[in-house]
Chain A
């Protein structure tokens, strides 16, 4: 109720945090959509309608991804996230084919093997913390495999990811030095890896990036480092978040769990629907290059704008009926992976990981539920769970 009162007067900057961490972010989105634009003084504007979010995503020259939009301890712009066209095109021409769906589909068997290895540790136990034991290690292990990096580095990678995305401390002042230190570690790790690869070439994703050419020119070491940095912060946590969101939902909605567990063909559309419903990345930031007015609200060049992906995905004025979960929903043109030129590069890898995880899990554990008495707590910024304790009939 407090949240409601607060938003009806004027949202506080913390609404961005709440959109990830609230039990029901849809309720906050509904209230926010009553106004097309909200302005949080000296911070940012919020775009709340599907139409406006979509239009902004398609105008990267106006709603730019200038480096100041995302500051995560990196010393240079993240590639390709913080680079706009025309330069952006060069990087996506190299990276898009490496992450294209046909290429990613080949990983199905390898991911299935990893999922089953992870599951071997707990199927006979009858209980687990899904977040800690499944959602966290899976995407990170897949990433290490793809990049040809030692699996022993898993723990270090998780520290690097968390040091950037979830550094301890309540204020930016407390978090900044931790981000900075972690960033130094990431650059140093990949600098060393690149040097090693020059001595002893390998055949993996990193090798393909190192070999890639645009107009006969390969990427510089700095460019490769800036790509690797982005991979760590964009590719690991987001899949963990989505797995937590999906299994959090299914463990509390037995009719949906049964629908997925009894019919494998439901899995792809169930993933799209829960991506839409949960919107694990609830907002994406942009920086205005010119003055503009939306819905009577003036915005100035240089000001920051948050595009509320979650609010757009549940905007029933744009698509009636999106206020409920329908695992077979079609059409479902959601924006959970963003849109426009910055559409999530790793979306097809994410989909393979999610699809295989859902399929293999439900083959072995079709019946499961939240451990009774559990109160789920979602995380801030990106929507994952602190813990997701599940119980199920143990395998004999």
Chain B
């Protein structure tokens, strides 16, 4: 499972990195930075949570 970030859509709501800090981080502007390419074993639920809570649909999952 991989996470995709559409940086143009991210507006810095900050939901992803609060909910799943092992997978997402913030840059200086509060916008999302991906910490992993591949979601590690056991991280699937966190990845889904970060992706699905984004109000801008800036994140998506690839199997």
Binds B, one of A131-139, A179-187, A252-260, A338-346: A338-346
Q: Mark A207-218, 1 if CB is under 8 A from B, else 0.
A: 000000000000
Q: Do A96 and B29 touch (CB < 8 A)?
A: yes
Q: Which residues of chain B are within 8 angstroms of A347 by Cβ–Cβ distance?
A: 13-14
A339 neighbours in B (Cβ, 8 Å):
11, 13, 55-56
| Interface membership of chain B positions 37-63, coded 1 if the CB is closer than 8 angstroms to chain A and 0 otherwise | 000000000000100111111000000
Residue pair A100, B54 in contact (C-beta under 8 Å):
no
Q: How far is the CA of A339 from the CA of B12 in the complex (A)?
A: 10
CB-nearest residue of chain B to A99 = B30
* Distance in angstroms between the alpha carbons of A99 and B57 in the assembled complex: 22
B14 engages A348 (CB within 8 Å): yes
Among A58, A96, A331, A334, point to the contact of B12 (Cβ < 8 A). A96
| Known pairs A333-B55, A337-B13, A339-B55; A97 contacts B49 (CB<8 A) | no
Interface contact B55-A268, CB-CB below 8 Å:
no
Question: What's the minimum C-beta distance from B29 to chain A, rounded to whole angstroms?
Answer: 4
- Nearest chain-A residue to B25 (Cβ)? A102
Residues of A contacting B34 with CB < 8 Å? none
- In angstroms, Cα B31 to Cα A341, docked, is 12
Whole-angstrom distance between the alpha carbons of A100 and B33 in the complex? Answer: 13
Task: Give the CA-CA distance A275 to B34 in the complex, in Å.
Answer: 27
Contacts of A332 in B (CB 8 A): 53
B9 to chain A: which residues have CB within 8 Å? 58
Closest residue of chain B to A340 (Cβ to Cβ) is B11
Chain B residues in 8 Å Cβ range of A92: 29
Bound complex: CA of A348 vs CA of B29, how far in Å?
12
Picked from A97, A99, A333, A337, the residue with its CB within 8 Å of the CB of B54 is: A333
Interface residue A356 (Cβ < 8 Å from any Cβ of B)? no
Chain B residues near A335 (CB-CB < 8 A): 55
Interface members, chain A 103-122 (any B CB < 8 Å):
none
B29 touches A97 (CB 8 A): yes
Chain A 333-370 per-residue mask, 1 if CB under 8 angstroms from chain B, else 0 = 11101011101000110000000000000000000000
Shortest CB distance B57–A (Å): 8
Q: Is B26 an interface residue (CB 8 A)?
A: yes
Q: Do residues A97 and B11 form an inter-chain contact, with CB atoms below 8 A? A: no
Of B11, B29, B52, B56, most A-chain CB atoms within 10 Å: B11
Measured CB to CB, the nearest residue on chain A to B13 is A343
Question: Are A268 and B18 in contact, with the CB atoms below 8 A?
Answer: yes
Q: How far apart are the CA atoms of A306 and B56 in the complex, in Å?
A: 19
Given A331-B49, A331-B52, A333-B52, the answer on whether A348 and B30 have CB atoms closer than 8 Å is yes
B15 → chain A closest CB, angstroms: 7
- A331 & B53 in contact (Cβ 8 Å cutoff): yes
Chain B residues contacting A102 (CB-CB under 8 Å) are 26, 30
Cβ–Cβ < 8 Å partners of B54 in chain A: 333
Query: What is the CA–CA distance of A210 and B14 in the complex, to the nearest angstrom?
Result: 26
A100 partner, pick from B15, B19, B29, beta carbons under 8 A: B29
Looking at the complex, which one of B19, B26, B52 makes contact with A101 (CB distance below 8 Å)? B26
Q: How far is the CB of A94 from chain B (nearest CB, A)?
A: 10
How near does chain A come to B56, taking the closest CB pair, in angstroms?
6
* Least distance between B43 CB and chain A CB atoms (Å): 16
Q: Using a CB–CB distance below 8 Å, which chain B residues touch chain A?
A: 9, 11-15, 17-19, 26, 28-31, 49, 52-57
17 A–B contacts, CB within 8 A, in A order:
A58-B9, A96-B12, A96-B28, A96-B30, A96-B31, A99-B30, A100-B12, A102-B30, A268-B18, A272-B15, A331-B53, A333-B54, A334-B55, A335-B55, A339-B55, A340-B56, A343-B12
Given contacts A58-B56, A99-B30, A333-B54, 19 further A-B contacts (CB under 8 A): A96-B12, A96-B29, A96-B30, A96-B31, A97-B30, A100-B26, A102-B26, A330-B49, A330-B52, A331-B53, A333-B52, A333-B53, A335-B55, A339-B13, A339-B56, A340-B11, A343-B12, A348-B14, A348-B30
